[in-house]
Amino acid sequence: MTQPTISSDGNSLSRSWTLASIGRGLLKRSWVGALIAAILLWLLAGLVTGTLSISFLLANATIAGFLALAGTAQMAVIASGPGNFDLSLPYVVTFGAYVMSAGLVGHDNIPASVALTLLVGIAAGVVNAALIVRLRIPAIVATLATGYILYSFIVAIQSGGFSRVGGLFEAALRLRFFGFSGVLAVAALTLVGVGFLLSRTVFGVQLHALGQNGEAARLAGVRRGWLLLGAFVLSGVLAAWLGVLLAVYQGGVSADLGRSYLLGSVAAVVIGGTRTTGGVTSVIGTAMGALVLTLAQSDLILLQFSIGAQYIIQGSIVLATVCFMAVRSRDRM
Amino acid sequence: MKHVDISAEGPPGGAVFISARNLTKSFGTHEVLRDVSLDIRAGEILVLLGPNGAGKSTMLNIVGGTLRPSSGTLAVDGEPVDFEQHISKGSRVRGIQRVFQELSTFPNLTVAENLELTARRSGAQSRREIVRHAAERMQVFPGNRIDVCAEVAQLSVAERQMVEIARAMTEPNTRLVILDEPTSALSPHEADQLAELVARKAAEGVAIVYVTHKLEEARRLAHRVVVLRDGKLHFDGDGRNLTHDELLSLLGATVEPQSSVKAVSVARVSSDLLNVEHLSSGCLRDVSIRVGAGELVGIAGLEGAGQRELLQSIFAARARDTGAVRSVSDIAYVSGDRKREGLLPLWNVEENVAISAIRRFSNAGIVDFSGLKAKANEWLSELGLSQRADSLIVSLSGGNQQRALLGRALASEAPLLLLDDPTRGVDVTAKVSIYAILDKLKEKGRSAILHSTEVAEFHKCDRVYVMARGRVVAEFDGTEVTEERIVHASFQRPKDETPQSGENKRPSGGPREASLTRLLSWRSLPAALLMCSMFALAFWQQPNAFSSFGLELLLQASLPLAFAVLAQMLFLLGGDIDLGLGFAIGLANVLAATYLVDAPMFGILALSAVVVGYVLLALIVELLGVSSVVATLGASFIWLGIGLTIRETPGGKSPEWLAAAIQVKLWPLPLPCVVLVAVAIIGLWICRGWGYSIRLRAMGHNRRTYVSLGFSALAGRVTLYALAGVFAVLSGLFLVAATGAGNVHVASSFTLATITSVVVGGASFAGGMVSPVGAVMAVVGISLVTTNLTFLGISSEYSTAIGGLILILALSFRSLARPIEP
């Protein structure tokens, strides 16, 4: 319930309930590190190029927006309990993008295509939750299996004809207003919505309880099965929505589209300062984490680091962050 | 009443082994042990008695080296003990063995392996030797039917307890055995055997401390009886001539009924909130109780008589009619095990209270936080916790935590509360305020069931049921409730008790049925079926594949994957998972293709660095407690990055000796067959045959128990990760030989493929349970899926989907074949 605060647009939705000064302090500390890192990386870019450019920041934010959606999806699952991860996420993203651009319900009928894509995301979430709750398969294996099956769907659909999703939707996403792109606005709005869902609804609050202590939550009247269903459906829908946005914004789809989002989504959550043992979410932290990762990559490109070095540095950031957080939480105990 | 009889030094008492002086232990402000002095002598059977919560466990934990006292001293053989050392090194070094109520055997190991684990014999023992030795040790229970080669998970509770006892009793150099309610699950016959064993051991000069609730046992065994009450030494004297009634009175059964007994007779119940009729499940036997509106009903009895199970069954059936349990209302649960079953540790007090009321304060799923906050604060001020509303709940004292959790139950407005030992471990003032809350509760007309380990608390109740050994043995009305009566009833033996344990419950059909059962419970069965059916399909499609050359072609593809699977298997053996394996292998592949030809020494160094990388990961996971998923995911970025830095596009070449090595013909079987078998054997050796393998499996399954036995989990994890690194490198080398080039992406599909194979092959995510043979069969089967699809003219891309389906099928099969996964 202390978590999460939502938005970058400064609204105060969650403030009325984030009561505890201690809790707030902790919460703040959890993503303030990422914020500082983002600012430093922006300054570094300014130093390299010689100008501190707002449009550079916004261009990065646009890319980070996609990653933040994936990160938030992963975060919902991570919050539901220790050891829960969604490995099917990259496949849902890719498959969603294909479904969106395949025009299965008519190439011009964009709302129906979007609806169909989101339905795919829901279905993926339902299957994941059913495997976990009904067959008691660990989340990591269940989502792995679902991902495999989706991968084959991707292969099957790949050979069909694809058209660019054009029209008003594409125009809206690509619209720029002082460098602020339409797609960034859509991503931000989505994040605000998810933040609302996680912090203001019965589902969100109970999900946080479940992730902290499953047994205690059960005895406090929380229904585990339904909440897991909710978490995985949320993850699936967000991933499918990311697929929609990528398909439309980039104007093309490839089988590799979602691949980087598996590592990226977990990394964004970790760098955003959210513990990976469940019970905590921070949409703003994950968004910050995504921004840090994106800015770091841009800076490394500016500094003419090779692609290999970029990966090494990103990996080191992730490992250093988890180690740092582990040491800190140990000190707090 | 205090009657300390030090002079009773009966003939059996030998030299003093352990001498405790003025031991005191308090948790917070609550003193659980007060100034207890006790000598434990060699060759003496000391029976420790006391009501629940008297401090017995605390006393034993201090002697057994799992707890340090607040003050007081302990001397072993006259030498004062440094508690720091006593705890860290483990008391086992001093020859102190404990048999816990909570079993401390490893369910994933066989009986023989469990016995071997702690035997500390030097050098690796042969398997046959281990089994023979174990069978010998189990002979302390003559004529038992325990198969020492069976996994402990397959044994009944009684059999596990026998293994546990046999382990403690037959360990070499044992000086003291602490038995904590050893007969709770044993049949009378086995209990007799235990009694003989205890007497024999004592005669050999071993000191025995025997905790029991069964007075007949105490009378039969005791050389000396020690009674603890309220944390104090109440009686210490010769136990050989005590009568049953004397023991009962020592335990407080004849305490004068206190004048404060309130015979609250509520207005007679109009309707029942809850009806339990003839409920038998788990350890419960034919339990019937009812709770009326506005009633406070107590469930008394000795610890473990089924009270908790009853409450849990009632809660699970809330607001439903499940036949045996019929409740008409919502139910709230308050557990005294706050840490495990109560606290939401990341939240503050107010949030912890509010969670139960959240549904009532919501509209279309959106929470009305201001209303909820007001409600929570209302209850908090009633509980006197208003000032702490914003504090993290874990920062409160145990008593305040418990009050907050009671507040949670009250805030739910459920008409019926289940109170599971709500005053456990809280101090007196907190207890008083918890009682006050219960009074208020009744005033407001709500009902509750109270299970407590403190008999005095039942004075509050309108009615009290007393349970013994899973049954309700007595029911008292409020006016009749006295401590004496409750204690008396708790020690009763249910008249219709039938021995429930000791019998071999496994199906004992004919030998054919038995072998069928064994086959069905074989964890690798899905993998075996998969491999055989895929071979059959391949040979049916392409009969000429059934030749040495054909086999070679069929199996070639699975070779590098087989080594990768070994690496992943070692991770799962330790209860971890490696999500970076594919890129680690890719990196090894790049390093080999780039350096082994031109700069072999540097190449070898670089490949060793990959193994060192894995050791670093082990340190991060073990020392910092980082989840292996996140750690290996982070590492995968680094593997990939290094690989790309060295070689951005595929290239390089394979050293000739390596390329030649995989062309070796080993007549009559093609090389891949030989290598696959070798891989399976190596895996088997690591998991079964090696001197270290028992320990590794034990660590993977239950790290805590492993560490508490005095082993190093760090060493274990480093070993596993380092070996995994070695196999990752080998897999990379095979890939170089097969492809003749280095490419960091070459094995990117391996990460998920290896997890699939290991899991289909029979591994469990619980850790410590893997099957190398099954994993290798799964690898072969899964790579044959691709081949078969090609034969059938289907795009091989669908093999991934089939892989996913196989994974789901294998896991569903297993959860059906073995409904109770440990």
pLDDT at B2: 42
pLDDT at B821: 38
Q: CA of B374: which chain A residue's CA is closest?
A: A17
CB contact under 8 A, A266 and B811: no
Helices A260-271, A89-102: axis angle to 10 degrees equals 120
List the Cα angle B190/B191/B195 in 5-degree steps.
115
Low-confidence ranges of chain B (pLDDT < 50): 1-11, 255-269, 499-508, 819-822
Q: Are strands B207-211 and B45-49 parallel, antiparallel or unpaired?
A: parallel
Q: CB-based contact (8 Å) between A12 and chain B? A: no
C-alpha span between B431 and B810 (Å, rounded): 52
Segments making up each domain of chain A, as ranges: 33-332
C-alpha span between B188 and B166 (Å, rounded): 17
Low-confidence ranges of chain A (pLDDT < 50): 1-23, 26-27, 332-333
pLDDT at A4: 39
**What count of CB pairs under 8 Å joins A to B?**
241
Within 8 A by CB and 6+ apart from B370, the residues are A16
Of A148, A201, A219, the CB nearest to B800: A148
* Domain B559-817 -> CATH class: mainly alpha
CB contact under 8 A, A313 and B645: no
- The structure tokens listed for B244 are 């049953």
CB contact under 8 A, B390 and A21: yes
Domain covering B1-95+175-252 in this structure, CATH number: 3.40.50.300
| Measured CA distances, A182 to A56, A93, A252, B435 (Å) | 16, 20, 18, 61
pLDDT at A19: 44
* Domain B272-490 -> CATH class: alpha beta
pLDDT at A28: 53
- Determine how many CB atoms are found less than 10 A away from the CB of residue B220: 16
CATH topology of domain A33-332: ABC transporter involved in vitamin B12 uptake, BtuC (1.10.3470)
- Are the C-beta atoms of residues B529 and B777 closer than 8 Å to each other? no
Question: What confidence tens digit (pLDDT) does each residue in B435-493 have?
Answer: 888 888 888 888 889 988 777 788 878 889 988 888 888 888 877 777 778 877 877 66
Phi-psi region of B283 (alpha: psi -120 to 50; beta: other; left: phi over 0): alpha
List A residues 30-69 in contact with B (Cβ-Cβ < 8 A): none
What ipTM did this prediction achieve?
0.84
List A residues 220-279 in contact with B (Cβ-Cβ < 8 A): 220-222, 263, 266-267, 270, 276-277, 279
CB contact under 8 A, A219 and B342: yes
Chain B residues with CB-CB distance to A145 below 8 A:
756, 804-805, 807-808, 811
C-alpha span between B136 and B170 (Å, rounded): 10
pLDDT at A6: 33
pLDDT at B121: 60
Measured between its terminal Cα atoms, the distance across chain A in Å is 21
Of B645, B804, B808, the CB nearest to A306: B645
Q: CA of B360: which chain A residue's CA is closest?
A: A202
Q: Select the residue from B572, B594, B633 to test the A interface by mutation, using most A Cβ atoms within 10 A.
A: B633
Nearest chain B CA: its distance from A61 CA (Å): 22
CB contact under 8 A, B626 and A200: no
Tell whether the torsion through CA atoms of A58, A89, A139 and B574 is positive or negative. negative
Question: What confidence tens digit (pLDDT) does each residue in B561-570 have?
Answer: 889 999 999 9
Which regions of chain B carry the CATH code 3.40.50.300? 1-95+175-252, 272-490
Of B607, B602, B581, B558, the residue nearest B735 (C-alpha): B558
Q: What is the pTM of this model?
A: 0.83
